[in-house]
Amino acid sequence: MVMGDLVREVDVAIVGGGPGGYSAAFRCAELGLETAVVDAGRRLGGACLWEGCIPSKALLHVGAVLGEAERAKEFGVDFGEPRIALDTLRKWKAERVVGRLARGLAAVAKSKGVEVIGGRGVFEDSRTLRVEGDEPQKLRFTSAVVATGSAPSPLPGLGLAPDRVMDSTAALELPDVPERLLVVGGGYIGLELGQVYAALGSKVMLVEMTDGLLPGVDRDLVQPLARQCEKLFVKIRLDTTVTSLRETGSGIEARFGGDTVAFDRVLVAVGRRAVSADLGLETTRVRPDARGVIAVDERCRTADPRIWAVGDVTGEPMLAHRAMRQGKVAAEAIAGRPAAFDNVAVPAVVFTDPEVAWCGLTESEATRAGRPVRLAKFPWAASGRAATLGRSDGLTKLIVDPDTGRVLGVGIVGPGAGELIAEGAVAVETALTVEDLAVTIHAHPTLSETLMEAAETLLRPA
């Protein structure tokens, strides 16, 4: 018998070992189901650990340290010009940050009895998954979970040129610090990685197709970030698309808005697309839509009763914590437990300087839907803690139901907004009212007081 003929019986076969896949696998194993994860890289962590959340946040931390050191001059502390040893930085990111977490995930899988199989998973029918690659075999499953994630979208019509044109994965490898960097796309990745490279010393120009950074996010939350980016970047061009990229001997020429500008590297960050092609889904009842997105119900079940899907492959918002929650819901549902992805607050955090975070209903969504809301805004200029940090440029706002006082959404911009939004998520998820927030004692002086202070503004008589 050759290896590829080997047929194994498992309760649950999971395709993809990212946050969605490993969360589903760990919970399935905890619930007593024999579970195997098939991952093309034979490792757990997916885009999040290897080429996404974790390495980008490690580099953003480095950028934040550099930014703080620069700001310290304001109160009389000068560390001098920073010297950056790129090799040490790359090694720290790869070994001390990503490597350490990867070893942790592998150990958890082992302790829970989750098998990780290296190879590409391809469905042969609604009961069988073929594994292609180093460890060829077939898995006969009772249930399967598709957790194949997403991949960077290329620039339409331009394709991805080698070397000098980077996607986020290549940019996170930090091949060098280019003197002139063009960032195409003013969304999460363009802003986070644009700020990383600017902090390391690149002259960054950013080109965004729409009329503002972070399209869709409330403008008052974006404004402080836009102001900071105007300082950090040499130029931001809105309402602009790149029409051609041409490699020259010494660099790359980009055409946009009637101009031709030379750069040393280009980072393309124009969104991500679901990975569902070449998965053999046509042999099942799962039919991804034109964008490759797999539709699921609130239990994360696809149109095929044996097949579930979680994470980026199920569409927006493509965020790791959503994938993890979906993974746990799918596992519980597979085990026959009552579970549903019925969360009302999926927090979103852009880890820039300043951070922008929101959850639940946004002001723009309420306006678009014609839904009446009350807004409470607390500018950080009035926050004692913000003053001690030298950061009064933040804002905390609440989107509140006018009849019940229930907190429907929270938006925060400022350093630490990504941590502060957790209180907003609890408030929205558990239907707290502004009064609940206002009467809860928040430690002084902290930035969390801004949530309480914002709530108090709605309790005062007009």
Using CB under 6 A as the criterion, which residues of the chain lie in contact with ligand FAD when the complex forms?
Answer: 15-21, 38-41, 46-48, 52-53, 56-57, 120-121, 147-150, 168, 189, 275, 279, 311-312, 318-321, 323, 351
CB of 267 to ligand FAD, least distance (A): 10
Among residues 119 and 360, whose Cβ is nearest to ligand NAD?
360
When CB distances are held under 5 to 8 angstroms depending on the partner's kind, the choice from ligand FAD, ligand NAD, none that residue 311 binds is: ligand FAD
Given 55, 121, 149, 186, the residue binding ligand NAD (CB under 6 A): 186
Among residues 56 and 128, whose Cβ is nearest to ligand FAD?
56
| 210: contact with ligand NAD by CB under 6 A | yes
When CB distances are held under 5 to 8 angstroms depending on the partner's kind, the choice from ligand NAD, ligand FAD, none that residue 329 binds is: none
When CB distances are held under 5 to 8 angstroms depending on the partner's kind, the choice from ligand FAD, ligand NAD, none that residue 20 binds is: ligand FAD
HSE at residue 172, side-chain half, CA atoms within 13 A, is 23
Among candidate residues 61, 321, 442, 444, the one labeled active-site is: 444
Region 381-440 residues binding ligand NAD, contact defined as CB under 6 A: none
CB of 244 to ligand NAD, least distance (A): 12
| 270: contact with ligand NAD by CB under 6 A | yes
Q: How far apart are CA 302 and CA 304, in angstroms?
A: 5
Q: Where are the alpha helices (DSSP H) in 113-158?
A: none
Q: How far apart are CA 167 and CA 265, in angstroms?
A: 11
When CB distances are held under 5 to 8 angstroms depending on the partner's kind, the choice from ligand FAD, ligand NAD, none that residue 215 binds is: ligand NAD
Q: Hey, how many other C-beta atoms are within 10 angstroms of the C-beta on 350?
A: 24
The CA-to-CA distance between both ends of the chain, in Å, stands at 80
CB of 99 to ligand FAD, least distance (A): 16
Q: How far apart are CA 45 and CA 65, in angstroms?
A: 26
| 355: contact with ligand NAD by CB under 6 A | no
When CB distances are held under 5 to 8 angstroms depending on the partner's kind, the choice from ligand FAD, ligand NAD, none that residue 411 binds is: none
CA distances for 46 relative to 49, 272, 346, angstroms: 6, 14, 20
Nearest to 354 by CA among 13, 63, 56, 38: 63
CB of 190 to ligand FAD, least distance (A): 10
Q: Where are the beta strands (DSSP E) in 78-168?
A: 115-118, 120-125, 128-132, 137-146, 150-152, 165-166
Strand partners, 320: none
Nearest to 123 by CA among 251, 361, 294: 294
Q: What is the token pair recorded at 279?
A: 């998965």
Active site residue 442: no
Please list, in sequence order, all residues whose beta carbon lies within 8 angstroms of the beta carbon of residue 229, skipping any fewer than 6 positions away. 191, 194, 195, 206, 213, 236, 352
When CB distances are held under 5 to 8 angstroms depending on the partner's kind, the choice from ligand NAD, ligand FAD, none that residue 121 binds is: ligand FAD
| 457: contact with ligand NAD by CB under 6 A | no
CA distances for 194 relative to 17, 85, 283, 352, 461, angstroms: 28, 19, 42, 9, 44
Strand partners, 7: 138
Which of these ranges, 11-19, 179-187, 229-237, 423-431, lies near ligand NAD under the rule CB under 6 A?
Answer: 179-187
Which of these ranges, 130-138, 186-194, 294-302, 382-390, lies near ligand NAD under the rule CB under 6 A?
Answer: 186-194
Using CB atoms, what's the residue nearest to ligand NAD?
187
Cα dihedral across residues 242, 245, 251, 256: positive or negative: negative
- What is the per-residue binding string for ligand NAD in 299-318, x denoting contact by CB under 6 A? ------------------xx
Region 56-85 residues binding ligand NAD, contact defined as CB under 6 A: none
When CB distances are held under 5 to 8 angstroms depending on the partner's kind, the choice from ligand NAD, ligand FAD, none that residue 279 binds is: ligand FAD
* 8 Å CB contact between 323 and 53: no
CB of 392 to ligand NAD, least distance (A): 24
Given 187, 405, 415, 416, the residue binding ligand NAD (CB under 6 A): 187
HSE at residue 274, side-chain half, CA atoms within 13 A, is 25
Binding residues for ligand NAD (CB under 6 A): 155-156, 184-190, 192, 207-210, 215, 241-242, 269-272, 317-319, 349-351
Active-site positions read: 444
